[in-house]
Structure 1
Amino acid sequence: MVKSKTLLKTYRLPKMPVKWMKRLNKAISLILCGVLLIGFGSCSYEPEPTTEAVNLTFSTDTLQFDTLFAERLSITKRLKIKNPTNKAVNISSIVLRNQSQAFQLTLNGRTQSSFSNQLLLPEDSLLLLVSANIDQGDENNPFVIRDYLEVVNQENSQSVVFEAWGQNAHYLSDTILDCDARWNAEKPYVLSGTVQVDSSCVLSIEPGTRIYSATQTFLVVNGSLQAEGTLENPIIFTNDRLDEPFVSAAGQWGGIVFLEDSKDNYFKHTTIKNALFGVNLNIFNPDNEPDLMMENCFVGNMAISSVISLNSDFAAINSVFYNTASGTVSHTGGGSAYYTHCTIANYFNVAREDPSAFFSDLAFDNNDNEILAPLEVQLLNSIIYGRITDEIQFFEQQEGNLNFSFSHNLFRSSISVLSENNSISNQDPEFVEVNEADFRLQENSPAIDDALPTNISTDIQGTSRGTSPDIGAYEYVEIEE
């Protein structure tokens, strides 16, 4: 066996200049001090705090929490307490003046009702984390809880206002509602889990009622849901977080699901927003009699769709379906879809391929079973528009299954036939502000005076349609600056 030889070569290193050596020694000293500081704390340095009172500064003079439902913890907000001077300050106490239990304080990882003897170095700051949790009270209307954070150094007391608006509510979680339940506007309803309307039962919702739902919450209707708001007192379905950014975020709750036994469902002057989807129909009773009728409604800002209808019958009048991450309205597997004086507009701030409106005789259920049935679609005096080239699409698996009629609409589409029957193709409807979901018409809109007169005498805002109505959910009115 032959052993290999390792050849070692000696290199002469250049001498390090003196000034570099001094820098290196200083760096080594700092590193050693850091190691010692971590291990033993022997290099720590705390300046003596001043004996004079100092006026500290705060990142805000009022820390406010928007409307919170009783017994629901808020988001955490930050309050910076700053020392603007070149002297260290000893904060002798940080405490709530009224010792309110509604506010929770966290400093340096510790959650306590108060803190004492906090050293604040020159031109440094402390970060106080604050959250709110309000107990259920006796008031039905929104109420305010207010306290004052007192920060004291050398008997100099400064304060920051803490304010939280509370709202009592009816709480429903994973429950089947009493048969023929009635909800009113006295107090909001806060839902979590799955809340069900049983078969042969009716949930009636009165004008002005507000329904707030937690994450992954679904209202499931086996019977009937009849929500009849008014222009002045609409019904609102939304998420239960009313602080930014949640108050305007899509996908904050599940949506409203209608199952096979459901019938006689009706929404009027109702807003449904910020869910995964607005309404999901799985009724399988395609008799061309609407299983769900929507009138003067707003349904949008959804993480999936506003309307999903599988082999069901749906009708909408004077309603706006808007801004969804996927297709806005989808009718598949047969049934019927009637849209009159509606605006279906998708300007959601994500890239998508699905059109604003999709109609197909074919669908697949959750078990990948094929559903194939005739689908009747009627579009009258409606706008279907958005950011992609084809905002309305059709699919017919079996010839003759798709019965489509339309007149006096405004479409964004490359399908040439959609410009027939007094309809308009690919002309911008000139909405007021799509980024703010304001789909009223501007004065130059091609939709003005171009609809077919019907017995629908007013628009979604109660404005008279007159003898020359406009296409879409809105009649044009001059916008006041």
Structure 2
Amino acid sequence: MRFLLPLLLLLSALTTTVLLPGCEPKEDLITTDSSAKLEFSLDTVKFDTVFVATGTVSKRLWVYNRNARAVRVAEISLQSRPAITYSLLINGDAGASARNVEIRGRDSLLVLVRATIDPTPADGKPFVVEDDLRFTTNGNEQAVKVLSYGQNAYFHDAEEITRNTVWKADKPHVIYNSVLVKPGVTLTIAAGARIYAHFGSFLLVKGRLLCNPDYQPTGPIKPSDPNIVRFGGDRREADYAERPGQWGGIEFDLGSQGNVVRYTEIKNSTLGLYLYNPFNEQPRPQVKVENTELRNISSLNSGYPFDGAALLSLSGDFTVSNTLISNCEQYAVYAVQSSQVQLDYCTIANYSQGTREQPSVLISPKASFATIGGRPLPVAAPRLAVRNSIIWGSIRSGEELEFVDGEQYAGNISLRNSLLKTKKYDNTGPLGQQKNGNVLNPDEFAASIFRSTPSRPRLSKPSFELDTLSPASNLALPLPGLSTDLLNRPRHPATPDIGAYERVNP
């Protein structure tokens, strides 16, 4: 009995200590300090498995509270999208969100993120779905990316290509966080390959790109020919099928030479082909473009500080033939500084969806910005040579050509046997185009130039092949080595048509 009284006194003291509010363990006290933020084991929860059967996959995310006191997370939630089903498992509860979740001081929480993916969508295209897993704590909102790949494809996530590589056509290719072709390295894209790029992603070429270099059709082809290489965005919903600005484009940097893009479709990007050499250094980027279509190009709502263009050059060289450029929200061709652009048998049919203020073709000795990183950009005379081509569009001003300070380099501008929409240069002066076999400002409604356009939709979708009585008919001059058109149809040997297409029934 003599030991019982001290034991009871000790237990009473311990009980009193536990029950006193002021003595609650610090790790259980909940802080309301707005500086109390969470840390995460991952910045992106990535489901990078190639899914070949419908199923559910789970990934773990650890959420750390590094604070001495507990925090109450007001909400953990997903901003789920319909293309994929995400769910969370937190403290044994499943759902798309959880509220008032407490994490003790210097403790952690395990969140299971589940994704149910249909690997075989109706259109058969691969897709990338990005979501945000959001955490709201004491007024602070933090987010972890959730990224899922669907369909069986090659996925290139922030990839650097360091040796000669061939992208085959047996499965589609998906670009996420851009792909870089290193200097001295060649990326070859085989005939029939399909490339889908995520929002903001570019194909960056510091080495060399050979796009469809070996395809040699033996006769006329259709626009749906399976051997054409096709670039587009990775959103597979029907609303995105022809929406501009969904991905970055293809950029060629200083030293990138010998590039060839042929029998290729590039659509729905911010830029089509971009030559970046703002300080006019050697060796200049060069690209040869043949039998290619670029359409739906726009930087609107992309977050980029520059206007979109199908062909954009800062002191680079484009050689383009048998190519169609259509439906750009800004420029079709934007060439500045000492850029050199040659267009042969090309059609620019720039019918944009909005109210476009930019001309289809702009040539200028200076860029729209004066410096990069505090270093002044050089000003130099550009060169433009256009033969047997159409420069047309829906701009309200009626002016699809602009030569900034053109009088200073008038000798570098040559447009011959082309159909042009221009009022500014509708004369015989140094920059006037009322010469050299050009057709200026024909009445589009009196004699249709194209078979079907957004302003005159005579078919179910636009067709920029020449109408039967098109004013571009039979007025081109034969050019050596260009005896077939965009679809590999033979051109008339003596009086071919202007533009990318030779009429089927002349």
Query: When the two structures are superposed, what TM-score results if normalisation uses the length of structure 1?
Result: 0.65
Aligned to 1:195: 179
Q: Aligned to 2:295, which of 296, 300, 319? A: 300
Q: Aligned to 2:381, which of 358, 374, 379? A: 374
SS in 1 for 2:402: strand
Residues 1:469 and 2:496 are matched in the alignment: yes
Q: Aligned to 2:250, which of 245, 253, 256? A: 256
Residues 1:422 and 2:437 are matched in the alignment: yes
Q: Does the CA-based 8 Å contact 1:374-1:402 persist in structure 2? A: no
Listed one character per residue, the Cα deviations across residues 35-92 of structure 1 (whole Å, up to 9, x for unaligned) are xxxxxxxxxxxxxxxxxxxxxxxxxxxxxxxxxx9669x9xxxxxxxxxxxxxxxxxx
Q: CA separation in 1, counterparts of 2:378 and 2:386?
A: 23
Q: CA separation in 2, counterparts of 1:136 and 1:394?
A: 50
Q: CA separation in 2, counterparts of 1:287 and 1:71?
A: 45
Q: CA separation in 2, counterparts of 1:465 and 1:473?
A: 10
- Using the TM superposition, give the Cα deviation of residue 430 of structure 1 relative to its aligned residue in structure 2, in angstroms: 1.8
Aligned to 1:450: 475
Aligned to 1:384: 391
CA distance 1:105–1:404, shift in 2 (3 Å): closer
Q: Aligned to 1:220, which of 190, 201, 204? A: 204
Residues 1:243 and 2:230 are matched in the alignment: no
Counterpart residue type for residue 251 of structure 2: V
- Using the TM superposition, give the Cα deviation of residue 374 of structure 1 relative to its aligned residue in structure 2, in angstroms: 2.3
Residues 1:394 and 2:403 are matched in the alignment: yes
Q: CA separation in 1, counterparts of 2:414 and 2:336?
A: 17
Describe how 1:145-160 pairs up with structure 2 within 5 A: none
Q: CA separation in 1, counterparts of 2:281 and 2:492?
A: 35
SS in 1 for 2:316: strand
Q: Does the CA-based 8 Å contact 1:286-1:312 persist in structure 2? A: no
SS in 2 for 1:195: strand
- Using the TM superposition, give the Cα deviation of residue 279 of structure 1 relative to its aligned residue in structure 2, in angstroms: 1.0
Aligned to 2:350: 346
- Using the TM superposition, give the Cα deviation of residue 103 of structure 1 relative to its aligned residue in structure 2, in angstroms: 7.5
CA distance 1:103–1:214, shift in 2 (3 Å): closer
Residues 1:318 and 2:322 are matched in the alignment: yes
Give the root-mean-square deviation of aligned CA atoms.
3.1
Counterpart residue type for residue 297 of structure 1: T
Aligned to 2:99: none
Residues 1:265 and 2:259 are matched in the alignment: yes
Q: Does the CA-based 8 Å contact 2:284-2:315 persist in structure 1? A: no
Q: CA separation in 1, counterparts of 2:274 and 2:237?
A: 27
Q: CA separation in 1, counterparts of 2:207 and 2:410?
A: 29
- Using the TM superposition, give the Cα deviation of residue 400 of structure 1 relative to its aligned residue in structure 2, in angstroms: 3.6
SS in 1 for 2:412: strand
Q: CA separation in 1, counterparts of 2:164 and 2:315?
A: 27
Q: CA separation in 2, counterparts of 1:478 and 1:173?
A: 47
CA distance 1:70–1:443, shift in 2 (3 Å): farther
Listed one character per residue, the Cα deviations across residues 352-391 of structure 1 (whole Å, up to 9, x for unaligned) are 1110111111223545733311211100000000112110
- Using the TM superposition, give the Cα deviation of residue 261 of structure 1 relative to its aligned residue in structure 2, in angstroms: 2.0
SS in 1 for 2:339: strand
Counterpart residue type for residue 319 of structure 2: A
- Using the TM superposition, give the Cα deviation of residue 423 of structure 1 relative to its aligned residue in structure 2, in angstroms: 0.3
Q: Does the CA-based 8 Å contact 1:216-1:253 persist in structure 2? A: yes
Listed one character per residue, the Cα deviations across residues 223-256 of structure 1 (whole Å, up to 9, x for unaligned) are 1111026454011111111221112211111111
Q: CA separation in 2, counterparts of 1:308 and 1:377?
A: 13
Q: Between Structure 1 and Structure 2, how many residues are aligned?
A: 337
Q: Does the CA-based 8 Å contact 1:290-1:315 persist in structure 2? A: no
Q: Does the CA-based 8 Å contact 1:323-1:437 persist in structure 2? A: no
- Using the TM superposition, give the Cα deviation of residue 288 of structure 1 relative to its aligned residue in structure 2, in angstroms: 11
Listed one character per residue, the Cα deviations across residues 135-162 of structure 1 (whole Å, up to 9, x for unaligned) are 599xxx879xxxxxxxxxxxxxxxxxxx
Gaps of 5+ in 2: 1-48, 55-82, 88-93, 97-114, 127-149, 216-220, 299-307, 427-431, 455-460
SS in 2 for 1:225: strand
SS in 2 for 1:399: helix
SS in 2 for 1:439: strand
Choose 1 or 2 for highest CA Rg: 1
CA distance 1:196–1:401, shift in 2 (3 Å): farther
Counterpart residue type for residue 374 of structure 1: A
Q: CA separation in 1, counterparts of 2:282 and 2:349?
A: 28
Q: CA separation in 2, counterparts of 1:447 and 1:132?
A: 54
